[in-house]
Amino acid sequence: MERVLIAGCGYVGSALAARLAADGGEVWGMRRSPAGLPADVRPLAADLRDAATLGRLPEGLTSVFYTAAADGGSEDDYRAVYVDGPRNLLAALAAQGQRPRRVIFTSSTSVYGQSGGEWVDEESPAEPAGFRGRRMLEGESIILGGPFPGVVLRLGGIYGPGRTSYIDRVRSGAAECPAANTYTNRIHRDDCAGALRHLMHLPSPHPVYIGVDRAPADSCEVLHWLAATLGQPAPRRADAAVPPRSNKRCRSARLAFSGYTFLYPTYREGFASLL
Ligand SMILES: NC(=O)c1ccc[n+]([C@@H]2O[C@H](COP(=O)([O-])OP(=O)(O)OC[C@H]3O[C@@H](n4cnc5c(N)ncnc54)[C@H](OP(=O)(O)O)[C@@H]3O)[C@@H](O)[C@H]2O)c1
């Protein structure tokens, strides 16, 4: 039987935990305040930044996921959760003589600094423009260079039930298209969970996968589609051209070719499910 630890069991981690528990596995959800985890998921209170709290992990773990997210946007917040946390968790697993088959880390497409609308895949250079991407890359290398086989899933913007900022902006009339075309990449929460579960079972995985849906899209295209679907006026374009922080098209072909079938292959199916 699978014995799975999900460290940082929040929005994505809880959806994953529920699926793995439904598969019949024994699943522990770790976070600092573990109340309110899905039924059948065992709560585990610990702080990944504090090695002393990781001393009593469940025994005989077969797979470990690291899905914690930073508390805030500062470099210290990022270092604590994406660098210190993975290091502490791997050290605790090793010190307890655990031998998980795989440790899977959720990273971000922010590790790619490309901003000219170009296509990006796992072989593209990952040269982040800011500290957020750099700290994520550091976390990835800790997992991939650690004592257990590691896999990294680089997620785009996560949306789903309760995370509907695009829809909310269009509904309220506050949506505005950027002055210039800006490609965005996203993934539904249930595809995050589905892809992570798929990677847990995949024989001989690559070290790195991009986790976005099959349709990177200009943000204005998405807003116009939502407006038309909701019967709202089409959002206007902003006048002032602010250079986008990110503008790239991430390709998830590696994940798809490995056998993962997206529940929501484009934003159209994903957003339609939330309307
Ligand atoms: N949101 C996005 O659009 C996006 C995009 C790309 C990648 N990602 C990555 O995808 C992953 C999943 O994101 P998410 O949206 O599911 O995150 P989330 O809902 O914000 O969940 C993060 C969880 O981590 C726990 N956590 C944070 N710090 C912790 C610590 N020091 N020790 C133990 N637990 C801790 C939090 O619970 P407590 O506060 O109770 O500890 C929370 O339940 C994250 O790694 C995130 O960086 C997210």
Does residue 197 sit within a domain? yes
How many domains does one find in the chain?
1
Domain range for 198 is: 3-161+186-215+249-263
For residue 12, give the nearest of 161, 135, 151, 125 by alpha carbon.
161
Distance 237 CA to ligand 1 centre (A): 33
Give 122-172 pLDDT, tens digit per residue: 999 999 989 999 999 999 999 999 999 999 999 999 999 999 999 999 999
Does residue 221 sit within a domain? no
Distance 71 CA to ligand 1 centre (A): 8
- Give the residues surrounding ligand 1 with Cβ less than 6 Å away: 8-13, 30-33, 47-49, 67-69, 81, 85, 106, 108, 155, 157-158
Q: pTM for the complete prediction?
A: 0.97
Instruction: Find out whether 183 and 109 touch, Cβ atoms under 8 Å.
Output: no
Does residue 231 sit within a domain? no
Q: DSSP letter string over 110-163? A: GG----SSEEE-TTS----SSHHHHHHHHHHHHHHTSSS-EEEEEE-EEEBTTB
Distance 204 CA to ligand 1 centre (A): 27
Does residue 56 sit within a domain? yes
Does residue 268 sit within a domain? no
Which residue has 């990294």 as its token pair? 152
Give 68-121 pLDDT, tens digit per residue: 999 999 999 999 999 999 999 999 999 999 999 999 999 999 999 999 999 999
Q: Give the contacts of 80 (CB within 8 A, at least 6 positions apart).
A: 49, 70, 71
Does residue 222 sit within a domain? no
CATH number at residue 102: 3.40.50.720
Directed axis angle between helix 85-95 and helix 131-144, to 10°? 10
Does residue 275 sit within a domain? no
